[in-house]
A = this chain, B = another copy of it.
Amino acid sequence: MAGVYGLLPLGLKVYRKIENIVREGMNSIDGQEIMMNVLQPRELWDETGRFSEISEIMYQFKDKNGKDIGLAPTHEEQVTDIIRHHIKSYKDLPTSLYQIQVKFRNEPRAKSGLLRGREFMMKDMYSFHVDEKDFENHYKKVGEKYLDIFSKIGLKTKYVAADGGIFSKYSHEFQVICPTGEDTIYYCDKCDFAENKEIAKVKNDDKCPKCDGKIIEAKSIEVGNIFPLKNKFSSAMGAKYVDNNGSEKDLIMGCYGIGLTRALAAIVEVYFDQENNMMIWPESVAPFDVEIISLEKNKEAEELYEKIKDKIEILYDDRDISAGEKFAEADLIGAPKRVIVSEKSLKSGGAELIDLKSGESQIVEIEEIASVL
């Protein structure tokens, strides 16, 4: 159905690599992984008024017993409910909980494939602090980690100031510059100044308000955001802690999202070569490190595959189909390196090793390929 996509084996392989890089990143800043739920009871969301407030984007229906249920588009209510049952004292703080889970948005017009779906995978983290200062330190730390994570999965992102909504002065988005993006940002060509169109007070070609650089307008894809929640949820839901003077205070919260399936789609937008109808995945998330193509089904390719299959991730194509079909499919699968073993390459002294990113091609002796890869 529109806006709802599955992942087939190769897409899933890429997705799992993204997921693992994100998970390692969250663990490295002391995030603790949990698993919350899709089904949400109305009562919990009535505590913050959001069952009505976001009913436009939340799938809502009644179960057999006539109870109102929603499908979670986000998890502030559930995570605050968990925390109010487990955090009592300033000694338990700060703490960060995150999950990697399917989320839902009742989009009337789903479009742009995985970029804006009705069902999609998210990593969402929520942090809890004794005060604003502790929150702000953590917010900064998560922001830096996000830039690092996106860079690891091959996405160069801008750290873009955005609207904070009704309860905060600011939030930040991680935007990938891309002509097919739905967002518009203004960034400086020299410094790190960047603002989302919604709040921008600059326009294209303006002088940067922070340095002598020039402002550039660009289309972009939002792959992550971080958001101060202050005490909005803790106050509404009674999530308090006892401070070191023995008095009860509201928890200060932040939330931090990464769109995992959207990041996968953004990588395709950035790395797909329209002209040559060819995908070249960044090495960190490629479904395979190398594709070995055996033309005329020769024994040298087989031996090479057997020799290196346990060391790196290989797609070995020895099917009995035409060379043209093999190359066309290999172009779409997008392993960053390709080894072609053919009568011709063997006559030239080995296999043809192609680095798809640089386009460089060389003949390497079969015995040496393992050490070159």
Closest-by-CB residue of B relative to A6 is B36
Given A9-B32, A34-B12, A61-B61: A39 touches B4 (CB 8 Å cut-off) = yes
CB 8 Å contact bits of A92-132 with B (1 = contact, 0 = none): 00000100011010101000000000110000000000000
Q: Is A78 an interface residue (CB 8 A)?
A: yes
Q: In the assembled complex, which residues on chain B have CB atoms less than 8 Å from the CB atom of A82? A: 6, 8
Contact A35 B64 (CB under 8 A): no
> Is there a chain B Cβ closer than 8 Å to A329's Cβ?
no
Task: Please tell me if A310 contacts chain B, counting CB pairs below 8 Å.
Answer: no
Q: Which of A14-55 contact B (CB under 8 A)?
A: 15-16, 32-41
How far, in whole Å, are A15 and B35 apart by their CA atoms in the complex? 10
Q: Which residues of B contact A119 (CB under 8 A)?
A: 37-39
- Bound form: Cα–Cα A108–B64 in Å: 6
Other-chain contact of A38, B7, B38, B41, B78 (Cβ < 8 Å): B38
A212-244 residues with Cβ-Cβ distance < 8 A to B are: none
Contacts of A15 in B (CB 8 A): 35
In the complex with contacts A1-B41, A41-B1, A35-B12 CB distance below 8 A: yes
Which one, B1, B13, B41, B63, contacts A59 given CB within 8 A? B63
Question: Who on chain B is nearest to A119 by CB?
Answer: B39
Closest residue of chain B to A107 (Cβ to Cβ) is: B64
User: Using an 8 Å CB-CB cutoff, how does the interface string of A256-293 with B read, 1 for contact, 0 for none?
Assistant: 00000000000000000000000000000000000000
| Contacts from A to B (Cβ < 8 Å) | 1, 4-9, 12-13, 15-16, 32-41, 59-65, 67, 69, 71, 78, 82, 86, 97, 101-102, 104, 106, 108, 118-119
Ordered by A's residue number, 17 sampled pairs between the chains whose C-beta atoms are within 8 Å are A1-B39, A1-B67, A4-B37, A5-B37, A6-B78, A7-B34, A8-B34, A9-B33, A9-B34, A12-B34, A13-B33, A38-B38, A38-B119, A39-B118, A59-B61, A59-B63, A61-B62
